[in-house]
Amino acid sequence: MTLGVGMVGYAFMGAAHSQAWRTAGRFFDLPLAPDMAVLCGRDAIAATAAAEKLGWRDVETDWKALLTRDDVQLVDICTPGDTHAEIAVAALDAGKHVLCEKPLANSVDEARAMVAAAERARARGVRSMVAFNYRRVPAVALARRLVEQGRIGTVRHVRATYLQDWIVDPEFPLVWRLQKGRAGSGALGDIGAHIVDMAQFVTGDLLTGVSALTETFVRERPLVGESSGLSASGGAGRGTVDVDDAALFLGRFSRGAVASFEATRFATGRKNALRLEVNGSAGSLVFDFEAMNELSFFNGSDDPDTAGFRRILVTEPTHPYVGAWWPPGHGLGYEHTFTHEVVDLVRDLAAGTDPTPSFADGLQVQLVLDAVARSAENGSSWHAIEEVH
C-alpha cells in the first residue's frame, strides 16, 4: 500500500524532506510505501525543475489543488511560517494527513487554530506532526532515553545554544527569514524553537516561565529582487529588519530545573552550532551537533580517580535508528534526521497512532517563543547597572 505525498515548497527544507521521502523505504521496513506524487510551487518553471531534481512525479502551482488529488494522502508543508496555518488547517479539514515544518506557526493564535484542526482531524483518523528534526538525531534520542532511565538523576540545569553567523555581513539581503510578516520572528523562532523543543524532549519536562532579552544588531538591509524599490527606511533598495538577530533567555522547568538558552545568527564563525548540556544530580549529558554521532556522558557514581565525561559513539545497532544504516562507527548526517522523522510518521499513520511531536507540542513551543518575545519587549526583569566613575 502507498502513501501519496504532496509537498509544498522546495527550498532548503523541501530538499531535505525530499531526500527523506526518497530514502525512508529503502533503509527502513515501512508498512506504507511513500509515493512522491506532487511538488507544489508558485513558479511553474522553477517548480518543474525542482520536481525533476528532487524526484517528484507531478507539479502544481496552487497548494489547494493538492487537497482534491486522489493521489495525495499527506501534505508536507515546507514553506515559510506565514503559510503554515492556512495550508495545514485546510489540508486537515480536507482529510489529508499533515507534516508541517517548524516552527508550527508565526503566532500562538495560528498555532491554536492548527491544534484545533488537528484534533478535529484526529477524530477521523487523520494525523499530523510538526517537524522538529533534531529529536531524531540518534544521540539526542539516546540522551532522552538515558534521562528517562534516571541515569543522570534529577535534572538541575539545562544549557542550550544554537549559534549561526550567516547574516553577520550587514549587506546580506532582507530575505524572508528576516521579515516578521513571513517568519514570525528571527533567530528566536527559526533556531530558538529547535533548542526549546530539544530541551523539553530530552528532559521530558516543560518550561513554565522565561525571562528574556533580544537584539537586532543590523536594522537595515538591502531588499531582494523586485522589491528593491524605495524601502520603509527611505533608502533606495533597503528595508527595515523587524525581527531579532539574537534571543537569550532564562527559564524554569516544571520539576525545578533552571535553564539558559541562546539563539543567535551573529556568533561569527559558528555555522550551525547546536549544543545541549543537561546537568543532573547523578550525572550530565552533552550533545554537540558538530559531533552529532557522539554523546558525552558523565556518570556521577564513577570512581573519582577515573571519572570524567565519557564519549559515547552513538553508532551501535542498539542505538535509536542506527541499525537501519551502517555498521558501527560509520556515522550519520543532518539529512538522516529527516528520514527518521518520515519513518516514524509513516509507521504511526499505518498503526493509527498519533505522531510526535504533535501540533500540541508545536503549540507549547510557540507559547515559549511568545513568552520570550513578550518578556524581551517589556524588559520586566531588567535591572540597569549604574556606571562607577
Give residues in contact with ligand SOE (CB under 6 A): 12, 190-191, 272
Residue nearer to ligand SOE on the CB measure, 63 or 338: 338
Cβ closest to ligand SOE, residue 132 vs residue 297: 132
Residue 87 Cβ, how far from ligand SOE at the closest point, in Å?
Answer: 18
Q: 8 with 98: CB under 8 angstroms?
A: no
Q: Closest approach of Cβ 321 to ligand SOE, in Å?
A: 17
| Least distance to ligand SOE, CB of residue 387, Å | 37
- Comparing CB distances to ligand SOE, the nearer of 121 and 274 is 274
Q: How far is the CB of 51 from ligand SOE (least distance, A)?
A: 22
Query: What SS3 state is found at 112?
Result: helix
Residues 309 and 147: their CA atoms lie apart, in Å, by: 16
DSSP 202-259: HHT--EEEEEEEEE-S--EEE--GGG-SB-TTSSBTEEE--S-SEEEEEEEETTS-EE
In angstroms, give the least distance from the CB of 129 to ligand SOE. 15
Beta 283-288 vs 294-299: how paired, if at all? Answer: antiparallel
User: Could you tell me the maximum CA-CA distance found in the chain, to the nearest angstrom?
Assistant: 76
Nearer to ligand SOE, 76 or 190 (CB): 190
Residue 11 backbone phi and psi in degrees, to 5: -90, -135
Cβ 274 to ligand SOE shortest distance, Å: 8
Looking at the Cβ atoms of 254 and 272, the one nearer to ligand SOE is 272
Gyration radius (Cα) of the chain, Å: 22
Min dist CB 376 to ligand SOE, Å, is 20
Shorter beta-carbon distance to ligand SOE: residue 135 or 144 = 135
Tell me the Ramachandran region of residue 9: left when phi exceeds 0, alpha when psi lies from -120 to 50, beta otherwise.
Answer: left
**Closer CB to ligand SOE, 141 or 312, in the complex:** 141
258 class by beta-carbon count within 10 Å (0-12 exposed, 13-18 middle, 19+ buried): middle
Roughly what angle, to the nearest 10 degrees, separates helices 359-378 and 193-203? Answer: 120
- Helix, coil or strand: residue 275: strand
Query: Which residue, 190 or 244, is less far from ligand SOE as judged by CB?
Result: 190
Smallest distance, Å, CB 337 to ligand SOE? 9
Q: Name the nearest CA neighbour of 159 among 249, 38, 67.
A: 249
**Identity of the residue, 134 or 359, whose beta carbon is nearer to ligand SOE in the bound complex:** 134
Number of residue whose CB is nearest ligand SOE:
190
154 φ, ψ to 5°? -80, 130
CB of 348 within 8 A of CB of 97? no
Burial of 153 (0-12, 13-18, 19+ CB in 10 A): middle
> Please, what is the minimum distance in Å from the beta carbon of residue 262 to ligand SOE?
15
CA atoms within 13 A on the CB side of 65: 13
Nearer to ligand SOE, 3 or 143 (CB): 143
CA distances from 147 to 131, 155, 283, 307, 359 (A): 22, 8, 10, 19, 24
